[in-house]
Amino acid sequence: MFRDLLAAAALATLALAAAGCNTVKGVGEDIKSVGRAGERAIN
């Protein structure tokens, strides 16, 4: 039961991520955004 729920959550997350950055350029922008957020959190 828990494995099924975890698998469904993982698939939903993957689908949302794929929809959010559907190009290589989009993936690069997402990575940059995470890096900037990390820098702001550290400083």
Q: pLDDT digit string (tens) for 1-43?
A: 777 777 888 888 877 777 665 666 677 788 888 888 888 888 7
Predicted confidence at residue 22, as pLDDT, reads: 60
Predicted confidence at residue 5, as pLDDT, reads: 77
Predicted confidence at residue 23, as pLDDT, reads: 65
Distance CA 41, CA 43 (A): 6
Distance CA 27, CA 42 (A): 23
Predicted confidence at residue 35, as pLDDT, reads: 87
Both tokens assigned to 5:
């729920």
